[in-house]
Amino acid sequence: MNGNDARDGSETGSRATADSDLSARLRQLETQLDRKRDAAPVRERRFEESSSGPSALGRAFRMSTEFVAGVIAGGGLGWLFDRWLGTSPWGMIVFLMLGFAAGVYNVMRASGFLTRSSGP
């Protein structure tokens, strides 16, 4: 007993037609997909670069770390400069701006936006 005993034999014919319809639609879909694949341009994937290079998340963390480190280093140096010479708040302001500029420069350098030009 499998729970299908209550059904009569009339469903087997409709099930066979549904299966053949499904098979026909599946074959038609496969043919359409094959045509689309043939018409689509072949994209070259560079597995060597993607497997050996850093991931996008890794690069994002590196860039954010570069920026934050520049600002913190500038702020720290400015604070030390102010404490040593008693020029509060000017050392902090100047060195924070320098740290911000250094952070932006490091992010641009790490992202590849700034490239070295080949000189003579």
Q: What is the pLDDT along the chain (120 residues), one digit of tens a residue?
A: 555 555 555 556 678 888 889 899 999 999 988 888 877 776 665 544 555 678 889 989 999 999 999 999 999 999 999 999 999 899 999 999 999 999 999 999 988 888 766 555
CA 63, 68, 70, 73 torsion-angle sign: negative
Does this model's pTM top 0.85? no
CA atoms within 13 A on the CB side of 103: 20
Q: What is the pLDDT of residues 8-36, one digit of tens each?
A: 555 566 788 888 898 999 999 999 888 88
DSSP 2: -
Q: Around Cβ 93, how many Cβ atoms within 10 Å?
A: 14
Structure tokens at 3: 């729970």
